Amino acid sequence: MRKALWAVSAAAVMVVGSGASAAAGDRVIAPESDVAHHGHVSLTDGWLAVWLLSESHGPSSLTNATVRLSFSVPLAGVQELPAGCLWAEDRVVFCATGSLPAGGVGRQLALDLRTVGTPDEVVVTVGTQWNGGATDRNPQNNEHRVLVPATGDRYVF
């Protein structure tokens, strides 16, 4: 009996540790990955510059995740986005992070966006839209709300 329990426990640890999902009866064990987004934003004369790096603090790797960037002011017309990014709404952009190895980083994102007019400030909200169904027990490091005055300074998140 002990050998059987040991074998089942070892198998469960291997499945959870590998980041794969496993069915345990009607329960599904999801991988755990602490996704984090960090970067900086600046606003100068109606130009909004966003630099972002996503990472996984583990314990599991992710094949991809999607970060959501939303803006409190309207953005001017049709603007080109980096590869892997798309407009979800007129003030919301989704970007793929690329693979996030456990303890590693995804791709760097740099967005240069034009606002309508020259606002005195913009609020930029950054967050995970999708993480492949992984459990994230520390969402505080991937949900940010940044007030960006039009000073040209970098505001870090």
The β-bridge partners of 24 are 27
Identify whether the C-beta of residue 21 lies closer than 8 Å to the C-beta of residue 60.
no
Edge to edge, the sheet with strand 85-89 lists 85-89, 92-96, 66-71, 121-130, 144-149
What are the pLDDT digits (tens) for 77-89? 889 999 999 999 9
The β-bridge partners of 49 are 42, 112
Q: What is the pLDDT of residue 14?
A: 32
Report the alpha-carbon distance of residue 76 to residue 91 in Å, rounded: 10
Which whole number is the average pLDDT over 73-79?
A: 94
Report the candidate in 22, 96, 31, 102 with the shortest Cα–Cα distance to residue 61.
102
pTM (predicted TM-score): 0.81
**What does the block give as tokens for 132?**
């492949």
The β-bridge partners of 33 are 59
Greater pLDDT, 77 or 62: 62
What are the pLDDT digits (tens) for 20-46? 444 556 777 789 999 999 999 999 999
The share of the chain scoring above pLDDT 70, in percent, equals 84
Report the alpha-carbon distance of residue 132 to residue 151 in Å, rounded: 37
